[in-house]
Structure 1
Amino acid sequence: MENIKAKKKYGQNFLKDDSILHKIIEAMPNNENHTVEIGPGLGDLTQHMLKYKDVTAYEIDSDLLTVLQSKFANEIQSRKLELIHTDVLQIWKSKNTLYDGKYDLIANLPYYIATNIILSAIEDSNCEHIIVMIQKEVAQKFAANEGEKEFSSLGVMTKLTSKEAKILFDVPPTAFEPPPKVTSSILYIKKDLNNSLDDEFKSFLKAAFTQPRKKLSKNLSSKIDKTLLKEIYLALNIDENIRPHELSASLYHQMYEKVILNDKRKRN
């Protein structure tokens, strides 16, 4: 390993287990998509991916950037690798995408911004597959099904925008240097590029899961008139005692559509 210490402020934990790296490579989709990596670290995963695809890698740490520029000088010169020194969330804010063309996001993500990165990738219409290593508890939320206690707004959004979402395998702390305090998981999402969610729906979901263990109707009463809520429950045959994690993603969407329809009627 290069003489570089992981920095806490960037949530760095360098993956050192070769068998895990090979399993991530095996999970790469066999397609013509470009590959984008966020936080390449010391470039171990990058090195493996470059055998199969051209890669655009985003690195925020200038010390690591120097290491990567030296390690991959030939690949950068031949344009197999594009190394960009920036904060990806800022790129998403300004350009809405990390690559001008269809791409797959494959990365070992820093825990502290993993959720924001995945949500941004879900919204990015150029991103088709997401294969990322993140904290297991967060991965479970994205991959959860209705009825499971981990099912939250993240699970609803994933269900409505993807064809498939699952945890491929877990990664123990010992696979990293330094070892994190938690178990990690590899999350796989295959997006449905025809589907997207508007900000109002996300706001509706946020209200629905305000207090996850309370009744859904209690949470939504802050946002929706109680009489209308009763009508919607009746029309969609929803149990009045249902909790937020028990309702399916499609029913959340149908509820939202009825709220929007009601708003339109009011305006006309």
Structure 2
Amino acid sequence: MEKVIAKKKFGQNFLKDHTVLNKIIQSMPNNNNHIVEIGPGLGDLTKNLVKYKDTTAYEVDTDLIGILNSKFAKEIEEKRFELIHTDVLDAWEKKGSLYEGKYDLIANLPYYIATNIILRAFEDVNCENIIVMIQKEVAEKFSANEGDKEFSSLGVITKLVSKECRLLFDVPPESFDPPPKVTSSILYVSKDTNVELDKDFKKFLKACFSQPRKKLSKNLSSVIDKEFLSNIYNELNIKETLRPHEVSASLYSQMYTKVKNGKKRG
């Protein structure tokens, strides 16, 4: 079989390390959920997933679709595996969810859209657990805690929508072909499916973290009336000197509610 060349435009790095593949499988939650994989590549992880559960995979690259269709012809015929040839973000846009029942997202994500994919998975009510390989630096932002210098809007959102979030392990560049220039990490998020964030909450966080090293009050005073902001700080007992990464996720949520209610009244 001719060697498949990874395409830069799709952010392709094919995971080849069997130890890593096995560790991903071992970290799968013990439940009856369907599995959704994004960017199956040459099917190395897929091959392991379909042994355990019915799987749906989304692949954008036409050249890989042919390879995957022949590699998994038996599983496709037995309806244990469905391969969908589309851009996954388009699929979310059109259908609202990547699967009609409860599912877990397990994938080696292309770096360039990994953040977007995880945020969309947070919004997808059918997605319960997320086990994804992404750039270590990005994984640390999702799993950061208040006080950590990496704590940003991504960390706040993750804290609010999850029951549990942690980094499982790192994956070195040499586990891939071609090797990326950075270390990857496996991020595990167990979602709290009862939580739905207001669509304007992300805009509020964007303002909060607009200048991460400045005081939060300074960032917010450019979009909120100073006196109104001062009242919120007093009501919630927030120190005026705090920087954005020093404020907890639940405080951000409470602040947003007060800002929203105040705007309705005003």
Q: Distance in 1 between matches of 2:13 and 2:265?
A: 53
Indicate yes or no: 2:168 matched with 1:187.
no
Q: Spell out the pairing of 1:224-243 with structure 2 (5 A cutoff).
A: 224-243=224-243
TM-score (norm 2): 0.99
Q: CA deviation at 1:264?
A: 2.5
Q: In structure 2, the residue corresponding to 1:199 is in which secondary structure?
A: coil
Q: Tell me how far apart the structure 1 counterparts of residues 2 and 257 of structure 2 sit (CA, whole Å).
A: 54
Q: What is the deviation of 1:265?
A: 2.1
Task: Write the distance in 2 (CA, Å) between the matches of 1:226 and 1:95.
Answer: 42
Alignment match, 1:13: 13
Where does structure 2 lack aligned partners over 5 or more consecutive residues?
none
Query: Equivalent residue of 1:65, what SS?
Result: helix
Quote the residue 1:172 is aligned against.
172
The Cα shift of 1:136 comes to 0.3
Q: TM-score, normalised by structure 1?
A: 0.98
Aligned to 1:209: 209
**Which residue is 2:136 aligned to?**
136
> Mean alpha-carbon deviation: is it higher for 9-18 or for 219-228?
219-228
Aligned residue number for residue 257 of structure 2:
257
Q: Mind listing any 5+ residue stretches in structure 1 that lack a counterpart?
A: none
Corresponding residue for 2:32? Answer: 32
SS in 1 for 2:12: coil
Assess, with a 3 A threshold, how the Cα gap between structure 1 residues 228 and 169 changes in structure 2: closer, same or farther.
Answer: same
Residues 2 and 246 of structure 1: is their aligned pair in 2 closer, same or farther, counting only changes over 3 Å? farther
Q: What's the secondary structure of 2:51's corresponding residue?
A: coil
Partner of 2:99: 99
- Verify the 8 A CA contact 1:212 1:243 in the aligned structure 2: yes
2: CA distance, partners of 1:133 / 1:196 = 25
Q: 1:219 to 1:66 in 2, by over 3 A?
A: same
SS in 2 for 1:101: coil
Q: How many residues are treated as equivalent by the alignment?
A: 266
| Over 6 Å off, 4+ runs | none
State the distance in 1 between where 2:171 and 2:188 align. 14
Q: How far has the Cα of 1:261 moved from its partner? A: 1.8
Alpha-carbon separation, structure 1, partners of 2:94 and 2:44: 29
Give the letter aligned to residue 105 of structure 1.
L
